[in-house]
Amino acid sequence: MESALFSPYTIKNVTLKNRIVMAPMCMYSSHDEDGKLQDWHYTHYVSRAVGQVGLIMVEATAVTPQGRISPQDLGIWSDDHVPGLKKLVEMIKANGSKSSIQIAHAGRKATVTGDIVAPSAIAFNESYKTPKELTNNEIKETIAAFKAGARRAKEAGFDIIEIHGAHGYLINEFLSPLSNKREDEYGGSSENRYRFLEEVIEAIKEVWDGPLFVRVSANDYTEGGLIPADYVQYAKRMKDQGVDLIDVSSGAVVPAKIDAYPGYQVSFADKIRNEANIPTGAVGLITKAVQAEEILKNSRADLIFIARELLRDPYWPRTAAKELGVSIDSPKQYERGWL
C-alpha cells in the first residue's frame, strides 16, 4: 500500500523525508550544570537520525538559567552554547534527518536553586517552591530571552524551532486561568492570557523566518481550566501570527488525573487541525505504524511525534516500515543487516 507515514512533508523551505518526528524528551544529562551538550546527547540524537527518523527535535532547551526544568537541562541562554549545538545539527543532517530544537522556560516548575518565576505567585503543588510573580519588566526580559534563543538556534543551523507552550511550563502558565491570576494586560481575559505567547512569537519572528512550531497542552483536565475548544481559538491566533504547526499534547499545568490510553491525545490534534485549519502533530502513546497511518490518512494530524517508543527502539522507522509492508532506505553501513 502507499504509506502516508513514509511520504515527504514540506513546511516552508524544509522538506522532511517522512512524517516521523522524534518528540522532545528531557535527558537530564548536562552534568556540569552549564547547559552544554555532553557526549550522551550526540549518541542519543544521532542514533535516531541513523534510524531514519524524518525530524529530530532536541529536548526542552532553556532560554534562561532560571528557566531550566532541572539543573541538568540543556541551555540556549548563552552564545557559548552555539558551537555544541552546531556540531549536533551537522551530525543529524549528515545522517539524512532534519533538525529542530524546542526552546523553553519552566516557570513555576523549575527545580533550580534560587528564585523561580511565574505569571502568579502560586506553587504547582506542595512539593514545588512558590514562584515570584513576574514584573512587567521581567516579562519583557523573558521575551527577549526567547528571541535570543531563537537567534542562537538559527546560528546553530536548526531547520525548525518549536516554542514550548505545554506541560505547565511558563507559557502554558500564562495561557491557563488555573495558573494565571494576573489583573494586568497579561491576565484575566483569554486575549490577555494569550499576550505573553503572542509577544514571544512576534519577537522570534524578528530573527527567524523558518518553520515555527508551538507545543500546547490542549486540555487542563480540571474544572475551570482550558479545554480543546479554547485551544482551537488560540491556534487560530497562532496561525494568524505565522505559526506553521501546532504540536498537540495535554495536561500538566496543574496536578490532575489523566486517563492515558493509546492515542489519547489524537482527538485534540484532530480538532485543532480541522477547526483552526492549521497543521498539527499528534503525540501520546503512539507506538504502532498502523496507528500512525490511521491518524494521517484520516486527516487527524500531519506529523507523528514518537517519544518513548523511540527510547525503546532507535530504529522504529524500520520497524514501522516492516509493519506496513513498505521498504525504506537504510544507512549504507547497515545494508547487509537492514532487511
**Cα–Cα dist 150/213, whole Å:** 12
Residue carrying C-alpha cell 524500520? 318
Q: Is 165 labeled as ligand-binding?
A: yes
Q: Is 149 labeled as ligand-binding?
A: no
Q: Is 308 labeled as ligand-binding?
A: yes
> What are the C-alpha distances in Å from 100 to residues 49, 93, 158, 163, 257?
12, 11, 5, 11, 31
Q: Is 224 labeled as ligand-binding?
A: no
Q: Is 229 labeled as ligand-binding?
A: no
How many angstroms separate the most distant Cα atoms in the chain?
64
Q: Is 166 labeled as ligand-binding?
A: yes
CB 288 within 8 A of CB 323: yes
DSSP string, 167-197: TTSHHHHHH-TTT----STTSSSHHHHHHHH
Phi, psi of 297 (to 5 degrees): -70, -25
Phi, psi of 317 (to 5 degrees): -55, -40
Q: Is 28 labeled as ligand-binding?
A: yes
Q: Is 307 labeled as ligand-binding?
A: yes
Query: Which residues have C-beta within 8 Å of that of residue 54, sequence separation ≥ 6?
Result: 9, 16, 17, 18, 19, 20, 21, 97, 98, 317
**Cα–Cα dist 72/28, whole Å:** 5
**Cα–Cα dist 158/169, whole Å:** 23
SS3 237: helix
Closest residue by Cα to residue 315 from 86, 126, 48? 48
Category of 30 on φ-ψ map: left (φ > 0), alpha (ψ -120 to 50) or beta: beta
Residue type, 136: N
Q: Is 110 labeled as ligand-binding?
A: no
Closest residue by Cα to residue 159 from 73, 249, 79, 92? 92
Task: Give the residue numbers of the binding site for substrate.
Answer: 28, 164-167
Task: Give the residue numbers of the binding site for FMN.
Answer: 60, 102, 215, 307-308
Task: Give the residue numbers of the binding site.
Answer: 28, 60, 102, 164-167, 215, 307-308
